[in-house]
Amino acid sequence: MSRTIREALNKDTRLCMSLAARPSNIGTRFHNYLYEELGLDFVYKAFTTTDLPAAIAGIRALGIRGCGVSMPYKEACIEHVDVMHDSAAAIASVNTIVNEDGVLHAYNTDYEAVATLLAEHRVPRRCPRPSLAAAGWPRPWWRRCATTGSAR
């Protein structure tokens, strides 16, 4: 028998979140569905904020496990994290914050995904140019191409 989310929540349930200018239900539903499918004791909630430093301090203070970061916060959050991993530092843009025992680690998983794709598919030196101006991935693509020698 399937339990409702209210029945499943308990004092040990871990919270993950996202920060976006206009949060939607898509990511919330997606993450919570996967947590349930994988049997993980996590819950995911989307937020917006008018006080980014306080929101990020809340991640640390409340022991929130992780945070997806969307525009307009991807660059502004940099000064509020403890550790910038190469993926985020390379493009000065954060899309994921992971709380490791109160130490906030910043990553850019788009950059990491591009690195994996370039390596696995041996993209030639003159790699194709992404042109989706409204999407968030052209910067990770170009920076990763440049740092791996896969771009012109």
For residues 14 and 87, membership in a common domain is answered with yes
Q: What is the pLDDT of residue 134?
A: 44
Give the range of the structural domain holding residue 69, as residue numbers without chain letter.
5-107
Q: Which of 31, 74, 80, 139 is catalytic?
A: 74
Tell me the CA distances in angstroms from 58 to 66, 80, 118, 126, one per residue in order.
Answer: 11, 11, 36, 44
Report the alpha-carbon distance of residue 133 to residue 131 in Å, rounded: 6
Q: What is the pLDDT of residue 128?
A: 59
pLDDT for 92-143, tens place per residue? 999 999 999 999 999 999 888 888 887 788 776 565 555 544 455 556 555 5
For residues 24 and 65, membership in a common domain is answered with yes
For residues 21 and 45, membership in a common domain is answered with yes
For residues 115 and 137, membership in a common domain is answered with yes
Task: Quickly state the pLDDT bin for 1 (edges 50, 70, 90).
Answer: very low
Contact 109, 68 (CB under 8 A): no
For residues 29 and 95, membership in a common domain is answered with yes
Tally of structural domains, the chain: 2
Mean pLDDT of 59-67: 98
Q: What is the pLDDT of residue 55?
A: 98
pLDDT for 66-101, tens place per residue? 999 999 999 999 999 999 999 999 999 999 999 999
Task: Quickly state the pLDDT bin for 9 (edges 50, 70, 90).
Answer: confident
For residues 21 and 89, membership in a common domain is answered with yes
pLDDT for 13-23, tens place per residue? 999 999 999 99
Provide the CATH number for the domain around residue 65: 3.40.50.10860
For residues 72 and 92, membership in a common domain is answered with yes
Q: Is 11 a catalytic residue?
A: no
For residues 62 and 90, membership in a common domain is answered with yes
For residues 10 and 58, membership in a common domain is answered with yes
For residues 67 and 94, membership in a common domain is answered with yes
Six-digit token string for 79? 């000064």
For residues 95 and 139, membership in a common domain is answered with no
For residues 61 and 129, membership in a common domain is answered with no
Six-digit token string for 123? 């993209």
Res 3 pLDDT > 70:
no
